[in-house]
Amino acid sequence: MKKHFLLFLLLIGSQVLVAQKKTPSVYTPDNGNGTFTNPLMWGDWPDPDIIRVDDYFYFVSTSMHYVPGSPVARSRDLVNWEMAGYAVPKYEEDPRYDMKGGNAYLKGSWANTIRYHNGTFYVGFCTPRSSATDPGNFSICTAKDPKGPWTRTIFKEYLYDPGLFFDDDGKVYVAHGQEKLFITELNADALSVKTPQKEIYNNRKFPYLEGSHTYKINGKYYLLGSTGGTTGRQICLRADDIYGPYEAKEIINDDHTYPGNGLHQGGMVQLKDGSWWFIIMQDRGPIGRVPNLEPVTWVDGWPMLGDKGKGVETFKKPDVGKTYPITVPATSDEFSAAKLGLQWQWNHNPDDQKWSLNERKGYLRLKAGKATKLSEARNTLTQRVQGPQSSGTVEIDVTALKDGNVAGFGIFQFPYAFVAVQQKAGQKSIVMMNADSLVTTVPFTGNKLWVKANVTHIGYTASFAYSTDGKKYQTIGNTLNMALGLDWTANRFALFNYSTGDSGIGGYADFNWFRFDDK
């Protein structure tokens, strides 16, 4: 009897462990009862576009100056998502992406579009003009598998906020523009322009109408875009010909789930059961522009979003014929794999000679390059903060720092704040910096430091703590009031090591792990 009881306890214990492993310490929209609650991912996944290929859905997002760029996620049920890959390994067209001769903040990939045609995935995006002498560009990336490899083609033409579309007669188009919209026909391989742009729409009732995505449904052409920016709404244009004339209708104008910030810009997809769904973003301040999932109801030939004109909060999951396990994009990392996890993006192109996952197994090694401050430092490794609250913790071995090195962990945007170990004249100290100002210094004689950053959407603040033994943490410094000094891109957790002087170049810090929690 005792043996049976022990086996029973072991069985129960193993089931509890399995249950714990299946319950991520990350926000999930899946309620586990056939319903979901918006947002889909409470982090910065802006300008969404979506397609279905057989039983998988693929989602692409804007990422600007973060590398790799143009993240592609995948799902089997539109609710549970995981990363699949990136369409842009690096940006090679301008040395400023390497922080040479300046920087490339807010450049890179904007307003991505994704399509699948004849066995090939296509991701397109624009890089906006930043000055009269900087014309911007438009790119198409292609791959047979979202994991890559991807091949990027940069066009000489500039197509703003592009929406790629393969028509059923073999023709290929891009809808693009802002308020004044255009159609540009591409050649059959979608890698060059066939017919220059033609204006198709210009209505000042919809200021800054942008983010166009194009569909052909029951013989009619639909262009879906947003107007009004953060406070915006979603507009649908409809015509019998790709070049118009177009009539327009507002298909959702609602901000009740985050007052002041309307649902706007995204893409829609048809399921195997014939139903349509729309992924649309909503600005949530310094946490980011988050995607929401909305049902589509066709009314008089118009795709109306939400439920009775309102964005849904908790709603029945899409019917994909099966129930899939709760899945969320990766966050925590023990740095034990041969490659970086897909949750990570560098601030600008990395210097591949100054970071490694192999020189010390189980650690991310960051070697210092020269920079006067964090915003100028290459090899700053980032991932999204998340709402409604989240924390990130790292363990750092700083044994091999050199004079001038600043190695640590913090929250990156403009302004940013961090806790780091700084070495001067052979002496280490713990520093807390906020908006490039030194807040506090603590003497430090150890070789390992644990740093924690806590984020909340209430007031958009971040606070910091550190530990010298990995057990007892104490708060340090002051509160970061998270902001959006870099427009349209959210705050991020950031790991870094840079040197303020030449003598410190090559000093390194070893990060043992990064652990994420939604508490």
List active site positions: 47, 210
**Location of structure tokens 């990422």:** 63
Helices (H), 359-478: none
Residue 280's φ and ψ, nearest 5 degrees, are -135, 145
- Name which of 110, 207, 106 is nearest 161 in CA terms: 110
- Name which of 356, 496, 488 is nearest 418 in CA terms: 496
Q: How far is CA 427 from CA 36, 247, 305, 479, 510, in A?
A: 52, 69, 60, 27, 18
According to DSSP, residue 328 is labeled: -
- Name which of 315, 436, 310, 423 is nearest 373 in CA terms: 436
Q: How far is CA 487 from CA 92, 168, 271, 280, 422, in A?
A: 23, 38, 34, 19, 30
Q: Are 412 and 382 in contact (CB under 8 A)?
A: yes
- Name which of 338, 485, 464 is nearest 391 in CA terms: 464
Residue 376's φ and ψ, nearest 5 degrees, are -105, 0
Structure tokens at 464: 């910091």
